[in-house]
């Protein structure tokens, strides 16, 4: 009788033991290198996330570090032993050279609440576009997020650009979408191969909440005479 009771106890413990194990995130691959891609090309890679624990793994958030990168899981909850894909898409428009972007995955795994996925590539410019006749304005980045900013604070950011064309680049005008935003260009005429900058100031007074403001750069660029820059900010009430 005692022996039978012990066997039943052990069997019952083994059967419920997996339920006592917490969720455990597993990733088959943390990094992916796309190699050389053409400027303007959109590339995609799927990372596989698994639940190696004994309880439901919940994907709470998936956040890309750059506006050029998007990431979305196929499923947000995984039972023990289940897997899902997190599809990461990278848009190389307006960028060149080596790039490294990250995506942070937040889960309810208490031992490893965050997992960082990394994508890399080298953006090359098509010879036809790089050797085109005329001026060509190139911004390594066209967006900037100030994150959380106390209301009333003035913040600034400098966008850098380069003339990758064959003729002098002339900045004809710089327009902002709001009187709370000001933009000053370093030099209105940029020779081929030379660089310039545009300093953007944003006054958060009476701008509580999520803000998005645009700056339109008007130039003699033969293909993109109107280039739009965007700034973001989460203005917090004091």
Model pLDDT, residue 118: 96
User: Which helix or strand (DSSP H or E) is residue 25 part of?
Assistant: strand 25-27
- Looking up tokens 């899981």 gives 73
Kindly indicate whether the domain formed by 23-124 is annotated with CATH number 2.60.120.260: no
pTM of the predicted structure, to 2 decimals: 0.48
CA dist., res. 71 & res. 183, Å (int): 32
DSSP conformation class of 65: S
Question: Which residue in 85, 31, 19 sits closest to 56, CA to CA?
Answer: 19
Per-residue pLDDT of the chain (238 residues; tens, 9 = 90+): 545 544 444 444 444 444 568 999 999 889 999 899 989 888 888 888 889 999 999 999 999 988 999 998 888 999 998 888 888 999 999 899 999 999 999 999 999 999 999 999 999 987 544 445 789 999 999 999 999 999 999 999 999 999 999 999 999 999 998 899 999 999 999 999 999 999 999 999 999 988 889 899 999 988 888 888 999 999 998 7
Q: Which CATH architecture has domain 129-236?
A: Sandwich (2.60)
Question: What's the start-to-end Cα distance of the chain, in Å?
Answer: 71
Q: Please list, in sequence order, all residues whose beta carbon lies within 8 angstroms of the beta carbon of residue 63, skipping any fewer than 6 positions away.
A: 71, 103, 104, 106
Positive or negative torsion for Cα 67, 71, 72, 77: negative
CA dist., res. 160 & res. 87, Å (int): 31
CA dist., res. 17 & res. 68, Å (int): 44
The ranges of the chain annotated as CATH 2.60.40.10 are 23-124, 129-236
């Amino acid at each position: 009788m005692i022996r039978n009771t012990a066997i039943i106890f052990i069997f019952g413990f083994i059967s419920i033991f997996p339920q006592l194990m917490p969720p455990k995130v597993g990733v088959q691959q943390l990094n992916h290198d796309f190699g050389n891609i053409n400027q303007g090309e959109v590339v995609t890679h799927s990372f596989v996330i698994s639940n190696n624990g004994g309880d439901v793994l919940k994907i709470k958030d998936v956040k890309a570090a750059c506006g050029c990168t998007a990431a979305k899981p196929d499923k947000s909850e995984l039972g023990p032993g289940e897997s899902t894909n997190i599809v990461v898409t990278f848009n190389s428009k307006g960028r060149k050279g080596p790039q490294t972007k990250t995506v942070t995955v937040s889960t309810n795994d208490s031992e490893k609440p965050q997992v960082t996925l990394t994508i890399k590539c080298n953006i090359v410019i098509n010879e036809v576009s790089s050797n085109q006749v005329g001026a060509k304005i190139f911004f390594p980045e066209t967006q900037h997020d100030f994150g959380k900013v106390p209301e009333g604070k003035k913040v600034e950011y400098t966008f850098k650009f380069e003339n990758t064309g064959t003729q002098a680049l002339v900045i004809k005008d710089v327009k902002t979408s709001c009187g709370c935003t000001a933009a000053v260009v370093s030099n209105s005429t940029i020779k081929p191969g030379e660089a310039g900058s545009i300093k953007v100031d944003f006054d958060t007074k009476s701008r509580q909440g999520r803000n998005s403001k645009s700056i339109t750069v008007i130039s003699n660029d033969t293909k993109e005479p109107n280039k739009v820059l965007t700034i973001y900010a989460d203005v917090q009430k004091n």
